[in-house]
Chain A
Amino acid sequence: MDEKEPFGERQAARRSFLGRLGTAVAGGAAAVAASVLPPEPTRAAADAPAIPAIPGYDWSKHHWAFGVDATKCIGCLRCVEACKAENEVGADAHHFRTWVERYVYLDGEDSARVDSQADPVNIEASGSEGRYRFANRYKDAKVDKAFFVPKLCNHCTHPACVQVCPTGATFKTDDGVVVIDHTYCIGCQYCVQACPYGARFFNPKLNVTDKCTWCYHRITKGLLPACVEVCPVGARIFGDRKDKDSPISKFIANNRVAVLKPETGNAPNVFYVGIDKEVS
């Protein structure tokens, strides 16, 4: 014990020295930074809050949200084709900003068989990778229960994908849309891994990550997202939650809505009606 005392004192002295050094360096750096860096432009400091230069659009007046009524979906996949056309996602069967899943419970089976438009059987039925239709593969089977579920980015309130982005290329706008700045995206795909919903994909043509934007270029012009525009049965609902009369506000008020994987804490903003226990 006696032999270790001097060592202990030396250790304490080194710790206090490092502490003082750290304080001095931080203080010096702060002083240098304060003199060199321009002041951070903050919206709170400005007289009028700055908004992005989108003609005729003020993002502080909107809070967008999406609804899916799966009880109405007929699986026609017009939304998927419209999204690809509107956003030039590429006419292949591997990259989708939105997609539709089919859940089929056959007689005597406990779990659902799930397929989407990208399933090889369905691609064969459509005859092309750029056109989509569900093959009638269960027409002769004994089906206990079956339904379609449209899926897309949930534009979460606490998006994990935004949190992990190392370059600030993906972010949530003030009106509630998660988008990607393709000029800042380095294609690391960390966000693809982070998304619990599989809503993001890597675009090999552009070497960036891509995802649903709720057609931000349309909604900021007063139009509906392309998938909502073409849905022939009203299974997709879109609107402004700040407007109590908007379709989405009424949809949420008049239905018991659910979100996918609430346990992940992402707080999705796509609200579902008519999904089942296996849909996540």
Chain B
Amino acid sequence: MPKHVLRLILLLVGLGVVAIAARTFLVDKSFYEYGHYRGNAVAEIAQDKPKFQGAAYCRSCHAAQFAEWSKGVHDSADIGKVVKCEVCHGPGGGRDPQHGYINAATGPIHPDNLKLAIPSDTRALCTLCHEQMPGRPLQQAQIVIEDHAGTQQCTLCHNPHSPRTIVGSLAAPEHPGDAAAGRDKADQCSGCHGAEGVGAGLPGPTLAGQNEAYLAAALKSYKRGARSNPMMSPIAADLGDRDIQDIAAYFASLKCEGPPNAAERVAAAHKAGASVCANCHGANGIARDRSAPNLVGQSKDYLSDALKAYASGARPHVVMSALAKGMSDADAEKSAAYYASASCK
């Protein structure tokens, strides 16, 4: 055999031996087990431990918060809207930072050595989803935060676990009031609040058509001293719980309705700086929530005095005190003037 042919054959055989040796000793044994890859890699990738634990995990300790949440609008599985605990509080599981990245085992899971965030800046947090923004579907609840909340945090009014629950809401009365009985008991009120509960030109605010629960709560506040007024405090002190329910029912049954909540009225509310007020009290002064009073039919003086009392702390309220303190005097005057313009006659 010619020498050059022999060399060529030896070279090829040598290369073949190197290739087979490399294939045997260097390539992982599990390569080609399932395909052109390292078979063991599949289980290695899968062994990584999950960080997000799910709402059921949180429930095991935070049952009260879970119950609030699961009854609220943030757990509406029927419409596909579920804001789970870890969306706002972050994942329950953390990784050991020393363990590196590849297929790292999970570090301590909350509560071991790890506290989850309780978001303090809810204005930034809630607006991640609820800021009014082009591109968001219409069915998503959206707000312009300055109009909706002024400078306040969302949690001033909303329970974050169940946001439709308004902080400071009133419980339903134990006994439904009797409006007919209340009519007789309300004789003494007419001097200041008007015979038909409309206080126009009189010292007292309009009571006709006011929320029954709000009226009852106001009388109870006078009675126990949480609110004080030279006229109201002694009168309320003499009233029994039953009297309070009946009188509240009577005034609530009288008519004082504002104009319809037309678009121009809403725009005017925004212009007057009263858009924050409108969240609870409505753009036309008819309250959206029974915990808040109707403002329709009240005088400007009464409304601005009330705002001053909230701001000074003379009339403490969980929501109103903070809102009134955050308002400038000019805004307070403008808002009072705006609602005073909503006649109910």
Identify the closest chain A residue to B16 (Cβ).
A29
Are B37 and A171 neighbours in the complex by a CB distance under 8 Å?
yes
In the assembled complex, the CB of B5 is this many whole angstroms from the nearest CB of chain A, namely: 8
Are B128 and A82 neighbours in the complex by a CB distance under 8 Å?
no
B140 within 8 A of A: yes
B265 within 8 A of A: no
Q: Which of A7-15, A143-151, A191-199 contacts B (4 or more CB under 8 A)?
A: A143-151
CA distance A156 to B42 in the complex (A): 18
A177-188 vs B: 1/0 string, CB under 8 Å? 001011110000
- CB-CB under 8 A from B12, the residues of chain A are 25, 29
Task: Choose one: B37, B83, B135; the contact of A147 (CB below 8 Å).
Answer: B135
Are A32 and B16 neighbours in the complex by a CB distance under 8 Å?
yes
- CB-CB under 8 A from B134, the residues of chain A are 104, 138-139, 141, 143, 146
Task: Choose one: A29, A54, A218; the contact of B43 (CB below 8 Å).
Answer: A54
A74 within 8 A of B: yes
B83-107 vs A: 1/0 string, CB under 8 Å? 1101100110001000001101000
A154-186 vs B: 1/0 string, CB under 8 Å? 000000000000001111111000010111100
Are A181 and B129 neighbours in the complex by a CB distance under 8 Å?
no
Are B80 and A223 neighbours in the complex by a CB distance under 8 Å?
no
B243 within 8 A of A: no
Are B46 and A220 neighbours in the complex by a CB distance under 8 Å?
yes
In the assembled complex, the CB of B31 is this many whole angstroms from the nearest CB of chain A, namely: 7
In the assembled complex, the CB of A13 is this many whole angstroms from the nearest CB of chain B, namely: 15
B201-217 vs A: 1/0 string, CB under 8 Å? 00000000000000000
- CB-CB under 8 A from A52, the residues of chain B are 34, 39-40, 42-43, 46
A120 within 8 A of B: no
Identify the closest chain B residue to A69 (Cβ).
B80
Interface size, chain A (Cβ < 8 Å): 70
Are A168 and B95 neighbours in the complex by a CB distance under 8 Å?
no
B118 within 8 A of A: no
Interface residues of A in 20-46 (CB under 8 A from B): 25, 28-29, 32-33, 36-38, 40-41, 43
- CB-CB under 8 A from B45, the residues of chain A are 179, 181, 213, 216-217
- CB-CB under 8 A from B42, the residues of chain A are 52, 54, 59, 173, 179
Are A229 and B84 neighbours in the complex by a CB distance under 8 Å?
yes
CA distance A220 to B103 in the complex (A): 14
CA distance A143 to B39 in the complex (A): 51
Are A168 and B37 neighbours in the complex by a CB distance under 8 Å?
yes
Contacts A52-B34, A59-B42 given; does A85 touch B91 at CB 8 Å: yes
CA distance A78 to B81 in the complex (A): 14
A268 within 8 A of B: no
- CB-CB under 8 A from B49, the residues of chain A are 217
- CB-CB under 8 A from A73, the residues of chain B are 137
In the assembled complex, the CB of A8 is this many whole angstroms from the nearest CB of chain B, namely: 24
A130-144 vs B: 1/0 string, CB under 8 Å? 000110101101010
Contacts A78-B128, A184-B37, A223-B54 given; does A88 touch B133 at CB 8 Å: no
B190 within 8 A of A: no
Task: Choose one: A85, A88, A133, A179; the contact of B104 (CB below 8 Å).
Answer: A88
- CB-CB under 8 A from B84, the residues of chain A are 229-230, 232
In the assembled complex, the CB of A43 is this many whole angstroms from the nearest CB of chain B, namely: 7
- CB-CB under 8 A from A172, the residues of chain B are 35
- CB-CB under 8 A from A74, the residues of chain B are 129, 136-137, 140
Are A232 and B135 neighbours in the complex by a CB distance under 8 Å?
no
Identify the closest chain B residue to A105 (Cβ).
B134
A233 within 8 A of B: yes
Are B50 and A217 neighbours in the complex by a CB distance under 8 Å?
yes
- CB-CB under 8 A from B82, the residues of chain A are 232, 234
Interface residues of B in 124-164 (CB under 8 A from A): 128-129, 131-137, 140
Are A230 and B140 neighbours in the complex by a CB distance under 8 Å?
no
CA distance A148 to B128 in the complex (A): 14
In the assembled complex, the CB of B286 is this many whole angstroms from the nearest CB of chain A, namely: 29
Are A217 and B46 neighbours in the complex by a CB distance under 8 Å?
yes
Task: Choose one: B52, B90, B129; the contact of A229 (CB below 8 Å).
Answer: B52
- CB-CB under 8 A from A103, the residues of chain B are 135
A52-82 vs B: 1/0 string, CB under 8 Å? 1110010100000000000111111110001
Are B31 and A88 neighbours in the complex by a CB distance under 8 Å?
no
A206 within 8 A of B: yes
In the assembled complex, the CB of A119 is this many whole angstroms from the nearest CB of chain B, namely: 14
- B: which residues have CB within 8 A of A? 9, 12-13, 16, 20, 23-24, 31-52, 54, 74, 80-84, 86-87, 90-91, 95, 101-102, 104, 128-129, 131-137, 140
Apart from A54-B47, A179-B45, 6 more pairs, CB < 8 Å? A36-B24, A74-B140, A86-B50, A86-B51, A134-B133, A226-B51
- A: which residues have CB within 8 A of B? 25, 28-29, 32-33, 36-38, 40-41, 43, 50, 52-54, 57, 59, 71-78, 82, 85-86, 88, 102-104, 133-134, 136, 138-139, 141, 143, 146-148, 168-174, 179, 181-184, 205-206, 213, 215-218, 220-221, 223, 226, 229-230, 232-234
Query: Could you list 15 examples of A-B contacts with CB < 8 Å?
Result: A25-B12, A38-B24, A52-B34, A54-B47, A82-B91, A102-B135, A138-B133, A179-B45, A181-B44, A182-B102, A183-B41, A220-B46, A226-B50, A230-B87, A232-B74
Top 7 A-B residue pairs of the complex, sorted by shortest distance between their CB atoms: A234-B80, A217-B48, A146-B135, A181-B41, A171-B37, A52-B42, A143-B134
